[in-house]
Every structure is written in structure tokens, then in C-alpha cells.
Amino acid sequence: MAEKDPVDVLMHAFNEFKSANDENLKKRDALLEAKINNASKALDRFEDVNQKLVLAEQQAKATQEQLERIEELINRPSAGITNQDFAAVTKAFDRVMRRSPQDRDRNDVETINKYANSIVKADDVSAGYLLAPPEMEAAIIKNLIETTPMRALATVRVIGGDSLKQPRKTASGSASRIGEIATRTNTGDPAYGMIEIKAPEMYARIAVSQQMLEDSGYDLLAELREDATEQFAVKEGLEYISGTNASNQGEGVLTNGSISYTASGEAAAITADGLMDLIHALKTGYSAGAVLGFNRSTLGAIRKLKDGMGGYLWTPGIANAAPNTILGVPYVEMADMPNIAAGTYPVIYGDFRRGYKIVDRIGISFQTDFTTEADNGLVIFRARKRSGSAVVLPEAIRKLKIAVS
């Protein structure tokens, strides 16, 4: 039996959804609600494809920029590291990670330390930690970009110092009309402040059985890379949304007090008018690169919304190899955004590349602990990285608040 065309499946699910929802709007019915939910679940199956369509270009660009910066820092003249050295570091790192500190080959440790000393400052690697080889760090960064939407949407800078400092305009001058020979008075000068994004430490704990370490065919580096990526991605993803900018956390887009909001128009519900107002409230200069962000539950609610002409706000775009849109705007799923409820901010909209910045301090390091879980036959690995984030241009981003006004 021939496999169905995915586009046909999607459009069939969308038509089923519209039909059931249209009828349910006229007469509320439990069976129709169930039919709507089933059709919505069918549409959800295509959201992973949609996410890739929306983020493909941004992810490719972000990956290239960040890996080039890592390569630039590694290959600077003062480093003096060759490709042969990279290969030697990777092999030495694999051998060292499998052995307790007292059993490690001194030459392997010296190879890793030589690489580390040429790349990062002494305080980048805490006592007992060893710097991961460059290809392993590059792979972790690449995987983080692919699993954390904000890393693909925002501007990311790889730094060699403790923080990133950049000027931020806090006031603008204003032009004025004047006669030919009239006195030119001061119309106000631009004012600038300084924003600093620090890169505090983050760590992940990974447990591996001693028996697996003793198996030479076991790809230890791949295991460490995948587990570290997963844990870092979960923590970073949450901070990009709701980080407090205190207690060594990054600043989230929902906690920044300078980002303006648009009210949904209802005390406890999302509305079509509220979404339209949100999109139109963003300055035109930021709209070309803007996307919407929300979680899967909010997407389900938005799919049911119609405009004043009876058309659905959500439009499938996969038939044209284009992403799905809401009011013509692409969207991404951000799992850590809150659900729709009174007083919450379930939707964010903006040009995140201009409005939000992430900094990574070069150097991801690992520590082995053969003692803590030895009685259980486990070896503990701790992965350490330094990163931070902050809103740098609040006017490039807006959020939707579930409220009457």
C-alpha cells in the first residue's frame, strides 16, 4: 500500500480540525471537543518539521559563527596548536577520563594541560577539571544550538574573558527646525550606558558504570557529550525565558522589566485581537526578523482562534516548503514559556537576534570522581561550562499578558 503524502495528511488534519471547531463554536459538544483534540494532536505531529523549517537558517548561521569564533581563539598565533596536537589531545583526554587521577599517564595529563594553558586563562579550569578537546566542545555547542531555540534566534558571542561589555544607548538627540541665521541651540545629545553580561559557572553531573569505562569499545566521549548537552540545554532553556539575572542565573526575556507588554483583552484567555495588537505594537524595524514564541499548549489554543472575517490565524505552510504561520508570522516552540492563565505572559514576539544576547566563555571542562559512587559501581563525571545571557535591546521584543488591560 502506497505511503500517504505528508502534505496531504497535514491538510486533511487541518480541514478536519477546522470543520470540527467551526461546528463546536456554534454548539458546544463533548464529542466535537474530542474530535478537535484528536485533529489537533494530528497537527502536532508536524510541529517538529515546522520547527526545523523556521530555525534551519538561523541554526546554520549561529553554528557557523560560534564555531568560527572558537576556532579563531584556538588558532590564534599565541596558542601554537596544530591539527596533530588536536588529535593527540582528544586521544589523551579519552584515556585520562577512564582512569582515576593516581593511575593516569603523566604524558597524557601534560598534553591536555599544554593545550588548556594555551587556550584559556588559569581560572577557567577549576582544580581537578580537565579541558575538553576542541572537537568535543564544538560538538556540544552545535548540539545546544539544535536543541535550544533561543540559541539559534539570539546573538551568541564566544568570549575569552570574564564578561562581555558593550555600550547601550539610553537617550537620543532630536533634530530641530531653525532659521537661516538663528542661534543653533543644543537639541540634546545621545546618552550611553554600559551593559555587562557575565559568564558564571554551570555544571552537569553524569554517572557511568565502571564496567563500561573498562570496555575499550565504549565511546565515552560521545556519552559525556550527549549527557552534558542535554543537561545544559534544559537549564539554559529555562533561564532564557525566566532567569532572574541573580544567583548566577542569566536574564530571561520574561523577567526583564524593560520589555513592554500587550494585553490579551480577556482576563484569563488568549484572543485574536490580542495577538494582532501584539504584532502591530512592535516597531516596524524589528518586524522583518521577528518570530513568535510559546509552548505547545498555547499553540493548541491559538489554532482555534479566528479573525473578524472568520479566517483562522494559524496557517499551515508546509505545502510550499515554508513554515506554518500565525497571522503571517513564523513561530517557534519554547517549552519553558508559561501556559495561558490570568496574569501570565504565554507569548513572546520580537527580533531576538537584536534584542537578546548569549555569551559563552571558551572552554568546557570535565572532572572525574571515582570515590562518591564507588560502592555502586559508578564513576561520576562533572561537566563545567561558563555562560550568561541578557536582554540588550528591550524595544526589539514584546510579550503578551493575559489580562483585560
| Domain assignments of the chain as residue spans, ordered by start | 46-172+185-405
pLDDT in tens, the chain (405 residues): 456 666 676 677 777 777 777 777 666 666 767 777 777 777 777 787 787 778 877 777 777 777 777 666 665 544 455 666 778 888 999 999 998 888 899 999 888 888 777 666 555 555 678 888 888 888 888 888 888 899 999 998 888 788 898 877 666 667 777 777 777 777 667 777 788 999 999 999 999 999 988 887 889 989 999 999 999 999 999 999 999 999 999 999 999 999 999 999 999 999 999 999 999 999 999 999 999 999 999 999 999 999 988 999 998 876 556 788 999 999 999 999 999 999 999 999 999 999 999 999 878 899 999 999 999 999 999 999 999 999 999 999 999 999 999
pLDDT score for 275 = 98
Distance CA 402, CA 340 (A): 7
CB distance 118 to 79 below 8 Å: yes
Residue 398: its pLDDT value, please? 98
Which fold is adopted by the domain 46-172+185-405? Major capsid protein gp5 fold (3.30.2400)
> Can you tell me the distance from the alpha carbon of 100 to that of 367, in angstroms, rounded to the nearest whole number?
10
pLDDT, tens digit, 9 for 90 and up, residues 286-329: 999 999 999 999 999 999 999 988 999 998 876 556 788 999 99
Indicate the pTM of the whole model.
Answer: 0.82
Contacts of 116 (CB under 8 A, 6+ apart): 124, 125, 130, 131, 363, 365
Cα dist. 287→172, 272, 292, 340 in Å?
Answer: 22, 18, 11, 24
